[in-house]
Amino acid sequence: MISSRWPRSSDILPQSPMHREFLLGLKSSVFYLPSLGTDGSHHCGHLLNNIDILNLNRNTAYSFVKLKYRQAPIIMSTATEPTFSFATTAEEVATTFSNEIKGKNVLITGSSVGGLGFETARVIAKYAKLVVITGYDEERLKLSEDAIKKDVPNANIHRLTLNLTSFASIRKAAEAVNANPEPLHVLINNAAAPFVDFKLTEDGLETQLATDHVGPFLLTKLLTPKLLGAATPTYTPRVVFVSSVGHSYGTGVDFEALTSPKPEKYVKPNAYFQAKSANILTAIELSKRSNGKINAYSLNPGSIFTNGFTNANTVPLFKEMGLLLPDGKPNPTAVQWKTIPQGAATTVAAAFDPQLNDKPGAYLEDSVVANDKVASHSSDPVTAEKLWTVTEQLIGEKFTF
């Protein structure tokens, strides 16, 4: 079946249970646009061993192809006790781990009001020693700080201008953090730029992969000494990558698209799927290479309706996907929607749940470990090692621990 548009539910759902499973999984990837200062979030759907997947070609025509892959857990270990659920809120998780949050310094990328990063910062700020919120728009950052302090008057908030599409901006921001005598206990790579038009950054990278993968990779590298400075005999610093169920679609990272991006080969969703796969692979490899000095985790926060859905550039696409009704409101039958507080819960758990100490590299959904939901191409150790090496070459720097 070939179409010049995204298939609607009416096209696919009656035809095949497998098509239905895929469409619901695809529609559950929810996107937040950097122009709105918002953050990425995604649906915690389940993978199938055999799925009908939507293959998006370079001409933006769409066809179904069947892909078969194994679901390979990245860590063979007992999962975190299921004390949390789909409906658990970030506030509840932060309260549960308040003792772990106290005294910690945390940096969160993508912190605009109305997004996951903001809610994550808000609940953490109730207990943390310092919360650094970042974004490329200083005015929006000030709005975020004011909103947090309205709810948490005594919160210690620091604003940091950061543009993840610019190596120069990332280095400048990292210098500011490193100049602070305080250690950094937790780095949360939350910001994302999904479904943007093809455009090269000033460093020659495709914007979506730069914002979602290469930029956070460079930031993490530059802040590694600061993270290592937070380590104690009883505490291991953490890095958290906000990924998505989108990691499971497609075939994984396209290294040519990463190193030699070309507009004629660019398809927005494919770039997004690759970036979310890269998030998980980076968490795995970072945990391995640091050899216990830093614990990294990735996660899928769920489907959350935010102001990203009102952007004129993406509303037509979300309607075609069935996520939005004709009037622009969220389709209640498309996915199981989470609220923003529910969506931010898994990020807080990844940052502070002490039961994760012996599960470096783990992937979380609904605030608990869900390694069995990671596609094999997003947990393959050979791919993880290659991605790490290639990305170090792109940023021109190597990690040291």
Instruction: Give per-residue pLDDT as tens, 273-321.
Output: 999 999 999 999 999 999 999 999 999 998 888 766 777 777 887 788 8
* pLDDT for residue 307: 65
Tell me how far apart the alpha carbons of residues 54 and 289 are, in angstroms, rounded to a whole number: 34
Q: Is residue 191 exposed (0-12), middle (13-18) or buried (19+ Cβ within 10 Å)?
A: buried
* pLDDT for residue 83: 83
Q: What is the DSSP letter of 81?
A: P
Residues in contact with 222: Cβ distance below 8 Å, sequence separation at least 6, in sequence order: 170, 171, 174, 178, 397
Given the residues 62, 69, 266, 363, select the one marked as catalytic: 266
* 266 flagged as catalytic: yes
- Given this structure, which CATH class describes domain 90-395? alpha beta
Query: Around 25, how many Cα atoms within 13 Å sit in the side-chain half-sphere?
Result: 23
Q: State the amino acid at position 82 in one-letter form.
A: P
* pLDDT for residue 312: 76
* pLDDT for residue 59: 34
Domain spans in the chain, listed from the N-terminal domain onward? 90-395
pLDDT in tens, 32-73: 333 333 333 333 333 333 333 333 333 333 322 333 333 333
Residue 384 Cα to chain centre, angstroms? 17
Angle of helix 268-290 relative to helix 381-395, nearest 10 degrees?
100
* pLDDT for residue 241: 99
Tell me how far apart the alpha carbons of residues 227 and 259 are, in angstroms, rounded to a whole number: 28
* pLDDT for residue 60: 32
* pLDDT for residue 70: 34
Q: What is the DSSP letter of 211?
A: I
Q: Mean pLDDT per segment of 10 residues, for the chain of length 401 residues?
A: 36 36 38 37 35 34 30 40 87 98 99 95 99 97 98 98 99 98 98 91 98 99 99 98 91 96 94 96 99 98 78 79 89 92 98 98 98 97 99 98 97
* pLDDT for residue 308: 67
* pLDDT for residue 345: 98
Tell me how far apart the alpha carbons of residues 89 and 87 are, in angstroms, rounded to a whole number: 6
* pLDDT for residue 36: 36
Task: State the pTM of this model.
Answer: 0.81
